Amino acid sequence: MTAALTAGLLLGFVVAAQVGPIWLLCARTSLRSGLAAGLAVGAGAAAVDFLYACLGVAGAGALLRVTGIRVGLGLLGAVVLVVLGARTLLAAWRIRAGGELPEEVATPAAALRTSLVATASNPLTIASWAAVFAAASTAQFTGSTTSTLALLAGIGLGSAVWFTVLAVAAHALGHRISTRGLAVVDALAGLGLVAFGGLLVVRTFRDA
């Protein structure tokens, strides 16, 4: 059980640490809206990672072998990421133009909702977690219900730890960035989210 929990912690941490749309969203939110909002993004991401890992071990990845389902979910995820990217780019333009409104600053609750939607927007990751669990099974980390649950708990905790580290680091850096610097951060994050949306479209049709 201890070995399975440790393996889950490492898996959750390493998978979450890969640069991707939620990585950008968490860092940008911590910089722009404060530590609480950044931690809320991380909490949402960790919750969805845990859920998708559960679906992966339950065999839901097999559903994604159906072309219509895989393409539909992939395109839906791409739309969500592109919309988030476009809104972030708009925020960058407003800062530059001096037109940002105080009520547009994200609250932790809004950040959590956005994170849940953005993280869940790439359901193709269920297949990735299914592959992870196939390897974990080979390594005998899922030999019993207890060890499987320990592995899943570790994945959720590992993901949460990474996003906490990222949110704290980004928030600390935010105190040293000017308003113009924040506009640059928004612009880069927005472009990154749009790019990840485009990449998801390419991957979806490539694997169709």
Contact 38, 29 (CB under 8 A): yes
Top pLDDT among 131 and 96 is at 131
- To the nearest whole number, what is the mean pLDDT of the chain? 76
Question: Looking at the predicted structure, is the pLDDT value of residue 58 above 60?
Answer: yes
Instruction: List, in sequence order, the alpha helices (H) in the chain.
Output: 2-17, 21-33, 35-57, 67-97, 108-120, 125-138, 145-174, 179-206
Contact 182, 95 (CB under 8 A): yes
User: Amino acid identity of 194?
Assistant: V
Domain of 114, in residue numbers: 2-206
In angstroms, the CA 133 to CA 81 distance is: 27
Question: Which DSSP state fits 102?
Answer: G
List the one residue out of 51, 50, 30 whose CA is nearest residue 39. Answer: 30
In the three-class reduction of DSSP (H, G, I as helix; E, B as strand; rest coil), residue 24 is classed as helix
Counting the structural domains of the chain, the total is: 1
Question: Looking at the predicted structure, is the pLDDT value of residue 185 above 80?
Answer: no
Number of Cα atoms under 13 Å in the Cβ half of residue 67: 4
In angstroms, the CA 63 to CA 124 distance is: 10
Q: What is the pLDDT of residue 141?
A: 62
Instruction: Specify the pTM.
Output: 0.72
Locate 62 and state its tokens.
């097999």
State whether the Cα torsion 124-20-203-86 is positive or negative: positive
Q: Which of 7-11, 48-52, 57-61, 108-112 is predicted with the least confidence, judged by mean pLDDT? A: 57-61
Over residues 11-42, the pLDDT tens digits come to: 888 878 877 788 888 888 888 788 999 999 99
Question: Which DSSP state fits 208?
Answer: -
Cα dist. 197→35, 71, 95, 193 in Å? 26, 13, 24, 6
Top pLDDT among 53 and 178 is at 53
